[in-house]
Amino acid sequence: MTTSLFDLYKIGIGPSSSHTMGPMRAAHRFASSLGDLFSSTERIQVDIYGSLALTGIGHGTDRAVLLGLTGEEASTIDPATIETKLGEIRSNNTIALLGTKRVAFRESGDVVFHRDLMFPPGAAIQHPNGVKFSAFDATNHLLSEQVYFSIGGGFVIADGETAPSLPGSASSIPFPFTSAAELLATAATHGITIAELMLANESEHRSAEEVRSGILNIWHVMRACVERGMSTEGILPGGLNVRRRAKQLAERLTTKGLRSRGGDPLAPLDWVTVYAMAVNEENAAGGRVVTAPTNGAAGVVPAVALYYQNFINGADEDGLLRYFLTSAAIGILYKENASISGAEVGCQGEVGVACSMAAGALVAALGGSNEEIEHAAEIGMEHNLGMTCDPIGGLVQIPCIERNAMGAVKAVHACRMAMNETDGHKISLDQIIRTMYLTGLDMQSRYKETSLAGLALNVIEC
């Protein structure tokens, strides 16, 4: 286990963790790596491949690399300033590397989308989200070149690296685990819950109070995202003319008197739908979101957490902390044993994983057993197996926004099924994670975030 809760839940901007946040991080990392060559650099070229090239415009990859080269970070940039910053680069045909050294930069020639090449030529890693950065001096001599891969959830690796550079390691935490079976066994041996195990692991790198406050800050950002989404109207950018619906849906539910626990017994699920759609409408608009575990699936976890907070009698802060700690343990299993990249395994690796995380986490928040957590997480993925990633126009809008709502509702049902079962279950979480990964590898590449098949091909853009 090398992934932290705070690696999995990253504050950033929409519309995509793999196609926006990842390339922004890669660009910043390349500019920072120039070292002694920085002063000699007079031009930067960016070559984009595979899924990043095929859906990069819709996902804002071009915008992201420009911002990253100027030193911007997805976690700190103010979304309201992005258009001004991009306008300056494009109007002046220059870019200020790390905000200090201004070099020539003509976007039409210096950002190249290789839509006919799935991988950068000669790269050791074969992942469909590849981007190459090249730095040249005043004589157009190549000074430095590096290929990076955005592997999902905002994680980035350089070509030849085996894993992202993360602070934790299995040897530096008290309860390492590499599988769900090991997670359950370790927790049982020590008589602790999965949430307690995760808290102990996270507390190796920061104090328990810092872990707690960090989680609550993530929750604050998530709630703010939901509130913005539920109070904003208009048409989402990108050309599909998709109308924001969360605000209108919330107003209808409120008018019908269904905000409270009374009234229609299924009203809470309507609110789960609204919460999830609010987040992903904000994401589609390029707003502030939290990867959970990705941007494309960012609505599921907060929607189910709000279901717990707003509709469960006795819900409290401790329950929310159990929720996030447990969801992270489940997400780590997918991240380290399979994939959370839609470009690698389809949307089962994004909304499917988020559904699995939220299902198990809700069990934990409700005080369920570790075994019930594992069962709910398994159910959450079992019924998302094979789900493709086929966004229309390369935009994180159709089917992504509604798909988050469906994933959140499925998570609630998976939790209830697991907690009402008394005789165990046949399929383990480890088996379902392995199945998801192999299914993703078998899936044709045109169904994996390329917009070359499925809804993206059969629905006319308008």
Give tens-digit pLDDT for 346-359: 999 999 999 999 99
The answer, yes or no, to whether residue 105 has pLDDT greater than 90, is yes
Residue 237 and residue 350 in one domain: yes
Task: Flag whether 124 is in a domain.
Answer: yes
Please report the pLDDT score of residue 462 as a whole number.
47
Residue 153 and residue 257 in one domain: no
Please report the pLDDT score of residue 166 as a whole number.
47
Please report the pLDDT score of residue 255 as a whole number.
84
Which tops the pLDDT comparison, 66 or 423?
66
Domain end, chosen from 92, 126, 158, is at 158
Distance spanning both ends of the chain, measured CA to CA: 45
The answer, yes or no, to whether residue 167 has pLDDT greater than 50, is no
The answer, yes or no, to whether residue 224 has pLDDT greater than 60, is yes
The answer to whether 290 and 10 have CB atoms below 8 angstroms apart is yes
pLDDT tens, position by position, 68-94: 999 999 999 999 999 999 999 999 999
Q: What tokens does 320 get?
A: 């929310």
Task: Categorize the per-residue pLDDT at 162 as very low, low, confident or very high, splitting at 50, 70 and 90.
Answer: confident
Number of domains in the chain: 2
The answer, yes or no, to whether residue 204 has pLDDT greater than 70, is yes
**Which of these, 340, 230, 224, 343, lies nearest to 290 by C-alpha position?**
224
The answer to whether 236 and 281 have CB atoms below 8 angstroms apart is yes
Which tops the pLDDT comparison, 452 or 163?
452
Task: Flag whether 10 is in a domain.
Answer: no
Task: Categorize the per-residue pLDDT at 172 as very low, low, confident or very high, splitting at 50, 70 and 90.
Answer: confident
> Cβ neighbours of residue 109 under 8 Å, at least 6 residues apart?
none
Residue 90 and residue 186 in one domain: no
Residue 153 and residue 188 in one domain: no
Residue 198 and residue 150 in one domain: no
Task: Flag whether 413 is in a domain.
Answer: yes
Give CA separation, 59 vs 7, 14, 54, 433, in Å: 21, 8, 10, 27
Task: Flag whether 411 is in a domain.
Answer: yes
Task: Flag whether 233 is in a domain.
Answer: yes
Residue 219 and residue 322 in one domain: yes
pTM (two decimals): 0.94
The answer, yes or no, to whether residue 6 has pLDDT greater than 60, is yes
What average pLDDT does this structure show over 400-405? 98
| CATH label of the domain that carries residue 29 | 3.30.1330.90
The answer, yes or no, to whether residue 127 has pLDDT greater than 70, is yes
Residue 210 and residue 137 in one domain: no
Mean pLDDT of the chain: 94
Residue 79 and residue 213 in one domain: no
Residue 88 and residue 135 in one domain: yes
Q: Which domain holds residue 89?
A: 17-158
> Cβ neighbours of residue 238 under 8 Å, at least 6 residues apart?
58, 284, 393, 395, 397
Residue 212 and residue 65 in one domain: no
What average pLDDT does this structure show over 50-61? 95
The answer, yes or no, to whether residue 208 has pLDDT greater than 70, is yes
CA atoms 311, 314, 315, 316: torsion sign: positive
Task: Categorize the per-residue pLDDT at 422 as very low, low, confident or very high, splitting at 50, 70 and 90.
Answer: confident
Task: Flag whether 170 is in a domain.
Answer: no
Domain end, chosen from 124, 158, 192, is at 158
Task: Flag whether 12 is in a domain.
Answer: no
CA distance 204 to 396: 37
Beta bridge partners of 135: 44, 144
The answer, yes or no, to whether residue 180 has pLDDT greater than 70, is yes
Domain end, chosen from 101, 124, 158, is at 158
Residue 141 and residue 185 in one domain: no
What average pLDDT does this structure show over 190-209? 97
Task: Flag whether 165 is in a domain.
Answer: no
The answer, yes or no, to whether residue 285 has pLDDT greater than 60, is yes
Residue 359 and residue 412 in one domain: yes
Please report the pLDDT score of residue 168 as a whole number.
47
What average pLDDT does this structure show over 311-321? 97
